[in-house]
Structure 1
């Protein structure tokens, strides 16, 4: 904690702290940079949601963008308070979000349409209840990594079956941001003692937040493109103000 700065939220009760001095700028924000770095994730998810609603994509994508926003807000609350309850508001939505990605990735080829969403919903609800009572520690990270790994084969299958160069670029941006973000996360965890002695802390975890905001956005756009292809909606990748890519579709006219 910074010298002379009191904590509005009281003692730290979370099971995890990051490589940033607590309450360095405000008594209301425990980890300042880790808190404000979630803002790009919220804005990118909002842009994705507006795009999905405006073009009338399937509701699953609206829910996906909303889940990205909920996760970012939960992360903001966690880093602002470093309280265990707020930690759950960050980590539980992480699991819910991955379950939603699993549904979007695998449901097109699932023969029994109601079984997958029912199972994933019950799994997510059970996890939330159990996790509210038990602190998993390293078990949470292992569980989350397993859910992420389940998505990789399907993402790769979508990539190799997509011929559009712009869509493939979205997938490459997704891979690039997750690799770079993971390096920032690892450096912040492993080399915290060394980094803390530098004149300027590069704020690796805050950079992770920013990169993962873009990572989620690129993943969502790629999945929206692939799903639009499956439905025959003639998708193409356009760019907002010549920079931010988004998926534009042309639905066939109904007779």
Structure 2
């Protein structure tokens, strides 16, 4: 481990520190009380609320394949599933190995999204050839190695935030450059905004759960089984999973608008789980009449 072991010990209180999976070796033990519902899962609510992200990622992954989109976009959604699986194992066991399987894929997936959003030259060939993937891999190796030797959760959050903010800023800039009256611009803007807001609200609830952990535990004890509805970190899982799904969908359409055509692909922004699909020939003519082509 390292100098920052137990960086979040203030959240643990009188938490049980071992269980079915052995001694807890993670640097974080969340506000949810351990082994309340079953002796086989350390944090039941935090564990099970990863299932929607896993399923959403698989849904997005297969939608890309079924709709004939370039496979590179399927890996974004698959990454969401992998993060969910890692987080599931982490909260189930509170083991350091599973903590890495939760936190490091977050870096990898956002790095991959950043790589894609920087590849904005026309056509589906990579703009920077092999150099782009090599830079992405080098960044991921650096963060992985440094985090293993400096296992401070704050360091991971800073590294994640840097690349997330960079990617989001770049995405917003590219969306702004789309033809002003084109329907895709509105779809992308609204869906991206909903995704970012959902993500941000989840982040806020997570921090409320951290800061007011003791008070929230009193409330959970008082309301009995309904206490599962006051597990703040669980909302982080649900909201960031859904927010990421919306952001990926909007980014994929944006990417295809730039690299292929603003008229070739679309998605139903009214759908709860929108996915990108090719525009049919008749619909494509309608899109061109309502907007501008590049």
Please give the residue correspondences for 1:23-172 in structure 2 after superposition, counting only pairs within 5 Å.
23-109=35-121, 111-162=127-178, 163-164=182-183, 165-172=186-193
- Normalised by the length of structure 1, the TM-score is 0.89
In structure 2, the partner of 1:204 is 232
Deviation of 1:130 after TM superposition, in Å, equals 4.0
Q: Does 1:226 align with 2:254?
A: yes
Greater gyration radius = 2
Contact 1:14 1:83 in 2 (8 A): yes
In structure 1, the partner of 2:214 is 193
Contact 1:15 1:84 in 2 (8 A): yes
Structure 1 residue aligned with 2:205, among 177, 180, 184? 184
Instruction: After superposition, give the CA deviation of every residue in 1:158-204 in whole Å (9 maximum; x if it has no partner).
Output: 33234422332211211220121111111111111111111244111
Structure 2 residue aligned with 1:235, among 239, 261, 265? 265
Distance 1:3 1:34 in 2: 15
Instruction: After superposition, give the CA deviation of every residue in 1:132-157 in whole Å (9 maximum; x if it has no partner).
Output: 34423422221111111211221211
Contact 1:228 1:249 in 2 (8 A): no
- Normalised by the length of structure 2, the TM-score is 0.78
Residues 81 and 116 from structure 1, CA distance in 2 versus in 1: closer, same or farther, beyond 3 angstroms?
same
Contact 2:107 2:160 in 1 (8 A): yes
Contact 2:67 2:278 in 1 (8 A): yes
Residue range with higher mean Cα deviation, 56-65 or 183-192: 56-65
Flag structure 1 segments of 5+ consecutive residues without an equivalent.
none
Residues 128 and 116 from structure 1, CA distance in 2 versus in 1: closer, same or farther, beyond 3 angstroms?
same
In structure 1, the partner of 2:285 is none
Distance 1:146 1:251 in 2: 39
Flag structure 2 segments of 5+ consecutive residues without an equivalent.
1-11, 282-294
In structure 2, the partner of 1:245 is 274
Residue range with higher mean Cα deviation, 166-175 or 125-134: 125-134
Q: Over aligned residues, Cα RMSD in angstroms? A: 2.5
What number of residue pairs does the alignment pair up? 251
